[in-house]
Structure 1
Amino acid sequence: MVDLAAVRANVRRLRALAAPARLMAVVKADAYGHGAVPVARAVLEAGADALGVAHVGEALALRAAGIGAPVLAWLHTVDTDFPAALAADVELGVSGWELAPITEAARALGATARIHLKIDTGLGRNGAPAALWPALVRAAAQAEAEGLVRVVGVFTHLAVADEPARPETREQLERFRAAVATARAAGLRPGLRHAANSPGLLSAAGLERPEDMLLDMVRVGVSLYGLSPFADRTPEQLGLVPAMTLRSTVSAVKDVPAGQGVSYGLSYVTDRPTTLALVPLGYADGVPRSGTGGPVRIQGRTYPEVGRVAMDQIVVDLGAPGRSAPEHGLLGAEAVLFGAGENPSASAWAEAAGTINYEIVTRVSPRVPRVHLHATEERAGAEKEKP
């Protein structure tokens, strides 16, 4: 279940923190597993200014659904369909080599590509290295003079913003400021400078100059979905509401004696007579196989998953014998792995699996049906068109 009212509330909270900067809502990877099209509509309804995705294919899927808001795609391969992107008015991130095929596509279509140049200020992934940045901005300026591109933005990606005390973020922002100056010296006039991700935005108020982080636009991902990017702060402490609830029902209940092994490998053996509940969610559904001990809420109480997570199911130890009788109502009872409020959190499952909450929600597989709640909020002006 995905609560789109929670998504909208999170957007409004994040917009208030970002103001007057614009807000780009990142809906890559099927909106972190929440459903890209319904989430995109919801964030635009709530006031997001633009959408961000990794791949052009993701952007084209949004266009096919009738979403006309600005969309930026920034992760490309040699097989990326740049002509299709330009025909659909998708903005493109450029880290270096992409500029040539984008300008070729623009020339062939008689179009002007809207691009955002990316500088690697320390993350070490895509983005032009500092040594190659001057050549990239000169080439972009030449392509802009020919009418093939319009450089609408310059951006970077922060590496350790989820650890606000570390100095690297300040160093990255200083490098970014110098990169923007180099771009302007080459004759470019990008209207959008963006660096802040969710942790960058949520920690900006603690900086001496928050505007150095917020710039003209922020790109937020995990916080849209009501998850905290910080190890030591909960969504509630940040004013966010988790949007996804992963739930199923108890499909079998049985009483077992002490000494009963559970699941493959028999890594868990009951130390007393107890009742086991079977829940039909497993690693094929996105529950991490390494998540032994993850919490499951059944009938108002939270119990541990026990034994190895299987492909299609997990086992929960209810801690007391004799509960398999029909009068206990366990068969068919709701079983919640994570959600908002009193439910266990995605972060608790991340801790059990030795990963991060981003992965827990994003990995929920397509075979798990998505039910979107509150999808009918007033949509007047929901899809912003480009100026």
Structure 2
Amino acid sequence: MNETAASPGSAHLRARAEIDLAALRANVRSLRSHAPGAAFMAVVKADGYGHGALPCARAAVEAGATWLGAATPHEALALRTPEARIPAGVRVMCWLWTPGGPWREAIEADIDVSVSGMWALEEVTAAARLAGRPARVHLKTDTGLGRGGCQPADWAELVAAALRAEADGLLQVVGVWSHLACADEPGHPATAAQLTRFREMIAAAEAQGVRPEVRHIANSPAVLTVPEAHFDLVRAGVSVYGIAPSPALGTPADFGLRPAMTLSASLALVKHAPGGHGVGYGHRYVTPGPTTLGLVPVGYADGVPRQASGAGPVLVDGKLRTVAGGIAMDQFVVDLGGDEPRAGTEVVLFGPGDRGEPTAQDWAQAAGTIAYEIVTRVGSRVPRVLVNETPEGPGGRDGAPERDGAAAAGAGAGASGTP
């Protein structure tokens, strides 16, 4: 979550992940409109799903997010540094703790923490004694996902222990929460069952004396399609970045979302090759006749999934092409069919689709995975280049893609990015 300078005006980048912060702000506003009665958390874990946690967190707050979510404590602590420039009134929560974690540092940084079991409660109360201030704790329930969270059979014990610690001034139970397993599958019965269990566990906790500030269970698909799951706070992750949670629910445009990342590279070489010429390791592709081959200088070390070998789509000089043969660590080849674009020509792996380029979902289909993984795995060798970094673009129209103008402004001002 460190930020480094990257000039979007540079024409000499091997590869770039352009991050449209106007699109992200528009996504947050659209998502908030789906849950107008709930507070809004933008989840920026995994370096903002590969987009750059700090600039994305700031953009989300500018668009009205009042909470930020992180998985690991160190992700959350980075959001509380002066460099992050996150307003003090914005709440930060993290939930993926292991024994011996930096509980005291989190408490002192005013980070909300999640507790799923007795070991975590013991560690957070010990840390609160050392910090000399109460911890803000969200008790997590396992309503059916089967990952983190307290099982119903152990819930009363955990709640009672938390209330004793609260009475001792060591913590405040500020939240009760859970996570949905199948909200991205329309009509799946598990969602209704989990919501019933969640209400039951909230009622049980409140009967023991818990008075939470927020109750929350809704993830991106539930924000968009399950209004009964909204409660007091919703947590949007992948949808903040303009990606629909699953094709079964619809496309980004169906929900007023726009993908924020465009991944591109510059052709490193264009050359003629005869028919019958093997391409790449194992000669998994052989040219069917005389043709031209283009070398794209990104590979699986940059996050391009090797599973998409022979299938990954790209846009080269206005034409859709497919990866020819295997995707190597640093590069792959496309068959240009006799066309001769110049070295340095832009190759778009994925983006919003406005120019006919593939989307992250297209790559997910080619690789047999989900779009979440496609954007999150883009590696540290690819600079993140921010465009539309200020809340209002030219003419005051935040959300309108101003690629060339934003690039020129960023080049003059020194745009920032996250590797």
| Same fold, judged at TM 0.5 (above) | yes
Percent identity reads: 55
CA distance in 2, matches of 1:270, 1:155: 55
The alpha-carbon deviation at position 192 of structure 1 amounts to 0.6
Question: What amino acid maps onto 1:45 in structure 2?
Answer: E
Unaligned runs of 5+ in 1: 205-209, 379-387
**Residue 91 of structure 2: aligned partner:** 70
Q: Give the drift of 1:108.
A: 1.7
Aligned-partner SS, 2:308 = coil
Q: Quick one: distance in 2 between partners of 1:9 and 1:314? A: 34
Alignment partner of 1:367 is 2:381: yes
Is 1:90 the counterpart of 2:107? The answer is no
Pick one of 370, 387, 390 that aligns with 1:356: 370
Alignment of structure 1 residues 314-325 onto 2, 5 Å? 314-318=332-336, 320-321=337-338, 323-324=339-340
Q: Is the 8 A contact 2:163 2:209 kept in 1?
A: yes
Distance 1:49 1:343 in 2: 34
Match of 1:221 among 216, 237, 248: 237
Cα distance in 2 for partners of 1:161, 1:258 equals 50
Structure with larger RCO (C-alpha < 8 A, sep 6+)? 2
Once the 2 structures are TM-superposed, how far is the Cα of residue 117 of structure 1 from its aligned partner?
A: 0.5
For the pair 1:151 / 2:168, whether they are aligned, the reply is no
The one-character-per-residue Cα deviations of 1:302-334 (angstroms, maximum 9, x if unpaired) are: 11111110000011112x22x34xxxx431100
Aligned-partner Cα distance in 2 for 1:146–1:290:
54
Post-superposition shift, 1:346? 0.3
**CA distance in structure 1 between the aligned counterparts of 2:148 and 2:24, rounded to whole angstroms:** 29
Amino acid at match of 2:53: A
Look up the SS of the partner of 1:290 in the other structure: helix
* Cα distance in structure 2, aligned partners of 1:171 and 1:336: 43
Q: Distance in 2 between matches of 1:88 and 1:375?
A: 27
1:343 is the counterpart of 2:357: yes
Q: C-alpha distance in 1, partners of 2:77/2:66? A: 18
SS at match of 2:307: coil
Native 8 Å contact 2:315 2:321 kept in 1: yes
**CA deviation vs aligned residue, 1:179-206 (integer Å, no higher than 9, x gap):** 00011011010021110100111112xx
Choose which of 29, 32, 53 in structure 2 pairs with 1:36.
Answer: 53
SS at match of 2:225: helix
Q: 2-side partners of 1:130 and 1:256: how far apart?
A: 65
1:258 to 268, 271, 275: 275
SS of 2:384's equivalent in the other structure is: coil
Structure 2 segments unaligned to the other structure (5+ residues) = 1-17, 393-419
Cα distance in 2 for partners of 1:237, 1:272 equals 42
| Counterpart pick for 1:201 among 208, 213, 223 | 223
Q: 1:177 aligns with which of 181, 196, 199?
A: 199
- Native 8 Å contact 2:322 2:334 kept in 1: yes
Instruction: State the SS of the aligned residue for 2:79.
Output: helix
CA contact (8 A) 2:216 2:234 kept: yes
Q: Which of 120, 138, 147 is matched with 2:142 structurally? A: 120
1:339 aligned partner, one-letter code: G
1:104 aligned residue (126, 131, 139): 126
36-45 vs 295-304, which moves further:
295-304
2 CA distance for matches of 1:66 and 1:38? 9
One-letter identity of the residue aligned with 1:100: E
- Asked whether the 8 Å contact 2:58–2:85 carries over to 1, the reply is no
How far did 1:66 drift?
3.3
Hey, what's the Cα distance between the residues in 2 that align with 1:154 and 1:306?
A: 50
Give the whole-Å Cα distance in 2 for the aligned partners of 1:60 and 1:365. Answer: 22
CA RMSD of aligned residues (A): 1.0
Give the match for residue 81 of structure 1. 102
1:330 is matched with 342
- The residue type equivalent to 2:165 in the other structure is A
Partner SS for 2:127:
helix
How big is each residue's C-alpha offset from its partner over 1:243-292, in whole Å with a ceiling of 9 and x where there is no partner? 00000111101111221111111111121222111110100000001112
Q: Does 1:134 align with 2:134?
A: no
Equivalent residue letter for 1:371 = V
The equivalent residue for 1:307 is 325
Question: Residue in 2 aligned with 1:58?
Answer: 75
Amino acid at match of 2:368: G
Structure 2 CA distance, aligned partners of 1:350 and 1:51?
27
Instruction: Give the length in aligned residue pairs.
Output: 366
CA deviations over 1:35-54 (Å, ceiling 9, x no partner):
00000000000001100000
- Partners of 1:119 and 1:185 in 2: CA distance: 16
Cα distance in 1 between the residues matched to 2:367 and 2:296? 18
Instruction: Find the partner of 1:165 among 157, 163, 187.
Output: 187
**Residue equivalent to 1:11:** 28
Mean CA deviation greater in 48-57 or 253-262: 253-262
Equivalents in 2 of 1:174, 1:82: separation in Å? Answer: 32
Q: 1:381: which partner in 2? A: none
